[in-house]
Amino acid sequence: MKLNVLASNFAKVVLAGLVVALVNAFTTQAIAETNTSAPRPMLTVKGQVSVPRADAAEEVSEGAAGVVVWLVPADTSRKDRRSSIESPHYKIVQRDKTFVPHLLVVPAGSTVEFPNNDPWLHNVFSISRRIQFDLGLYGTGVLKSVRFDRPGVSYLFCSIHPEMMAIVVTVDSTYFGVSNKGGRIAIDKVPYGQYFLHAWHESAAPLALAATRRVVVGDDHQNLPTIIVSVSRPKPTTVKNWM
């Protein structure tokens, strides 16, 4: 009788031990899965742009607006999540004999639409080295589009109205922004990590455009170092193969 009681108690102890071990195992696995699956929050990266002339110390009179800044992940194996999820709609409208907006930044592979909202014929063409196209003449209410596959700068013109000019800057990233009149810039939804910093301005000196630096984005690194883009050449206002 005593042997049966001892055996029964031993079995209960063993069973209790197994239950505790299983609970601990499941708890440890759940914590590990939570730690590995919980994504870090995206950050808003801010910066300040300075645009001095290449032949002078002071900043240009028109200010530091219109500087394109973008971040390219240093880890080339890391896939840009937003590029596969979002399909933003890009458009440059022809209105009042003007391209609106004048400057458009798009990730490589984007399609840009060119609707004609004027009561007369228009044309859109580019002879830039990065992309060359001619959409021909088309009238009111007609929409044509172009896919911008390669990173680079494309200057757009209208063969009928030579005063019309726009710029499409195609970048190899979805983390980009354009500075305002005060030279301030903000890039939203940037993941933690290391990036190469790029900057561009339509009147920038070629050497200034070639400069890049490596930056870190994290809890204590949400502000970019001051971005200096030297200006030396006039803005293109007529048909010319600039890039």
- Per the structure block, which two tokens stand in for 73? 């992940």
Please give the pLDDT value at position 62: 53
**Rounded distance, CA 191 to CA 217, Å?**
7
**Cα-Cα end-to-end distance for the chain:** 97
Run of H or E including 23? helix 2-37
CA separation for the pair 164, 117 (Å, rounded): 14
Residue 136 has pLDDT above 60, yes or no: yes
The mean per-residue pLDDT over the stretch 23-29 comes to 49
Average confidence (pLDDT) over 112-141: 94
Count of CA atoms in the C-beta half-sphere (13 A) of 23: 6
CA distance 151 to 173: 9
What is the token pair recorded at 121?
Answer: 């014929």
Out of 34-38, 76-80, 83-87, 228-232, give the one with best mean pLDDT.
Answer: 228-232
Supply the mean pLDDT for the chain: 79
8 bridge partner residues: none
Mean local confidence (pLDDT), 173-200: 94
Q: Mind giving me the DSSP string for 102-144?
A: SEEEEETTEEEEEEB-SSS-EEEEEE-SS-EEEEEEE-TT-EE
Q: In this model, does residue 114 exceed pLDDT 90? A: yes
When pLDDT is averaged across residues 29-38 and rounded to a whole number, the result is: 49
Instruction: Note the pLDDT tens digit of each residue in 100-111.
Output: 999 999 999 999
**Rama region for 180: left / alpha / beta (φ>0; ψ in -120 to 50; rest):** beta
**Predicted pLDDT at 63:** 66
Residue 59 CA neighbour count, 13 Å, CB half: 13
Band of pLDDT at residue 189, cut at 50, 70 and 90: very high
* Interatomic CA distance for residues 108 and 106, integer angstroms: 6
48-62 confidence digits (pLDDT tens): 998 886 555 554 445
> Do you know the residue count of the chain?
243
